[in-house]
Amino acid sequence: MVDNSYNIHTTNNGNYGLQLLRTNMASSALHNSRERFDPPKCDEDTRVGLLDEVSDWVKNRNADAPNTYILAMTGPAGSGKSALMQTLTERSAAVGILLASFFFSATDSRRNNKERFVATIAYQIAQSITAAREPITRAVELDPSIFDRTMETQIETLIVEPLKEVMTHSNGNWEKLPYSIFIDGIDECQGEEHQSHLLRVFEGLVLKSQLPLKLCFSSRPEFAVRSAISEDGHLTQTKLLYLIELSEHDARADIHRTLQRRLREIGKHSEDPRATSDTWPSQEDLDTLVENSSGQYIYAATVIKFLSDRRRSPVKRMEAILAWTPGMQQREKPFAVLDNLYTNIFMSALKAYRGEDAPDEDLTIIRSLHMIRLFTMQGYVTRVPDFEAFLKLDPGEVGLIISDLHSLIKTLHGDKLVRDALQIEFHHKSVPDFLQDRHRCGALYIAPAETYAELALACLEWIAKASEKELQELFQKQHEHSEPLFISLCFWAGYLHEALSDSSDANKAVALTIFPALGEFTASGSWRKLFTVICDVTGPGSKGHPFWVGNEMCTVTEWISPFGKILEICEKKGLMDNPTWGEALNGMQEFVTRLKKLREEWGKPMHMRSYRAL
């Protein structure tokens, strides 16, 4: 604590006011709180460049320089923001420039909201600057209900006015007083509107009050923060925002150093003689762990925590981590910390998207992510508006679906050659692994067959409602066509096959969804309609166009293979004998038989370039 006392008249000893402050503050939010024992910090010789960059920014108090008052550090989940903030806060405290800090936490009711924020900051100011204690406690004593006032009123009464009084009596010695404020985890404050309010308060505290403070905050790039620091955001518009995006900093070398140092320390204290060897962990294993981390510190921290159990062999536990694949059931839970993080993020996003009235089992966001990944993986570039039209989503709905997942999702529009191209990329490769493993994601799990079934149903609906004219135009015209219908004809056979060939528990539920739709498809005459169009516009010498099926270019006759496999699967399962489902499959069987005859008449179909490449 820096004691810079000045001769300010005191009405009383201020004990009552200080006690009220203590009652209304969140002691667990302090950087050195006992309740935050052993908080994450940057390992020795890691994040050196980032730490120096922020430290230099804090120390630069040139009022004429741009970007000098507020620093925003954003980064995906698990990128090491809290460790950086803890290290920076401790550094500032060590050199006497720390004024206050606040570490939000979603799991602590005292610091997962903004109610105790001002009181906590004010209490620390009263401790950091002795001369500020009397005006702060005096303000509390004059109005004990100040903590029920708006945040703006609290800030003005408990922070701005007392500090201005200190400045008035400091005789030009303000430069010697602590001035830096560190706030970690804005995204951990409950309520998007409360996060936005906090950011507005920061602007008022640092900029509008014209106090010589430096405020640094960190957060995942969720909506409130993205809005404030975007090109037209209110913090950016001040022209005094310094922005650091951790996703632009490659942390793999630092992660390698951390893992090497920490795992060798674990090995030295292990009872397993293999771990005490200087060759453990091997360079190959370290490289694999670094690659699996995708540059995110949370993965490294999870590995270290899992290997730290003194009652278990770190060598065996390392083998378990390296051998893990999605769907692999293990008695140990090597990724429990990571899984808890992802679960909390997805549950919060689901709650925000579906609203209070929607059922808890509504997993729309998860289903959409699975479908987007399938579209990305199938080798066909789809535009976001076409994807939305295909699934009959409102325009812009995809953006809303992922709006609370920017801490996990790096990008949605990935193809620079196609405007609004649908392509999803995650910050961490373990996110899709998590979603594909029922043992890790629990209630968030959706079987692949269910995703394929939902896509197949959309295809059947588009094809069934298409007129013969629309189908003919799709075959004959290179550029004018319905994109959702084109997507449907490209992939319907593959989707149906994947949905029905799944041997998991989801298969029965999927069948109960698929077969009624196939029955309606048959009853509506859609198989015959499609075959009629094929005969009219394709074949030797025609102007018909090939379609993409999976990643292969082929003519429509190659639908024979996936449909034939579906019929084989259903026959083996005895579904053809089911009076209801058998009727649904008869249309498909007749369609395949006719296609086979066409193939015999045309001879072996010639592969042609997709019209997309013309």
Interacting residues of 106 by C-beta distance below 8 A, sequence separation 6+: 112, 185, 188, 190, 344
Name every residue whose Cβ is closer than 8 Å to that of residue 305 and which is 6 or more positions away in sequence.
Answer: 337
Residue 147 pLDDT: 96
Of 604 and 489, the one with more pLDDT: 489
Give me the mean pLDDT over the 189-211 stretch.
Answer: 91
d(CA 24, CA 158): 13
Element (H, E) at 69: none
Taking only Cα atoms into account, the Rg of the chain, rounded to an integer number of angstroms, comes to 31
Predicted confidence at residue 538, as pLDDT, reads 58
97-111, 208-222, 306-320, 410-424 — which is least confidently predicted? 410-424
State residue 19's pLDDT score. 93
What residue ranges in 106-256 does DSSP mark as E strands? 180-184, 214-219, 241-245
What band does 607 get if pLDDT is binned at 50, 70 and 90? very low
The pLDDT-based confidence of 37 (bands split at 50, 70, 90) is confident
pLDDT at 508: 66
Lowest-pLDDT choice from 250-259, 312-321, 393-402, 591-600: 591-600
Average pLDDT over residues 215-237: 94
Q: What is the pLDDT of residues 123-170, one digit of tens each?
A: 999 999 999 999 999 999 999 999 999 999 999 999 999 999 998 887
Q: How far is residue 588's CA from residue 560's CA, in Å, rounded to a whole number?
A: 10
pLDDT band at 356 (very low <50, low <70, confident <90, very high): low
Task: Specify the higher pLDDT residue, 64 or 293.
Answer: 293
Taking the CB of residue 337, how many other CB atoms lie within 10 A of it?
Answer: 18
Q: What is the mean pLDDT of the chain?
A: 84
Q: How many H-runs (helices) and E-runs (strands) does the chain carry? A: 27, 9
Give the per-residue pLDDT at 557: 64
Identify the H or E element spanning 361. Answer: none
pLDDT given for residue 611 in this prediction:
28
Find tokens 């150093």 and name the residue. Answer: 257
Instruction: With beta carbons less than 8 A apart as the criterion, state whether 463 and 530 touch.
Output: yes
Distance from the Cα of residue 316 to its chain's centroid:
31
Domain with CATH 3.40.50.300 in the chain: 15-248
In this prediction, residue 63 has a pLDDT band, given cuts at 50, 70 and 90, of low
**Euclidean distance between CA atoms 158 and 149, whole angstroms:** 11
pLDDT at 361 over 90: no
Mean pLDDT value of segment 520-532: 90
Sheet holding 98-103, edge to edge: 98-103, 180-184, 214-219, 70-74, 241-245
Residue 352's pLDDT is 84
* Whole-number pLDDT of residue 262: 93
Instruction: Determine the average pLDDT of the residues in 5-34.
Output: 78
pLDDT(353) > 80: yes
Which one of 246-260, 343-357, 374-388 scores highest in mean pLDDT? Answer: 246-260
* pLDDT value at residue 55: 95
pLDDT tens by residue, 474-497:
776 645 567 898 889 888 888 988
pLDDT-derived band at 8, boundaries 50, 70, 90: very low
Structure tokens belonging to residue 253: 């070398």
**CATH hierarchy code of domain 15-248:** 3.40.50.300
> Does position 535 have pLDDT exceeding 90, yes or no?
no
Give pLDDT tens digits for 446-473. Answer: 989 899 999 999 999 999 999 988 888 7
pLDDT tens-digit series, residues 273-302: 999 998 999 999 999 999 988 888 888 988
Angle made by CA atoms 217, 204, 245, in degrees to the nearest 5: 25
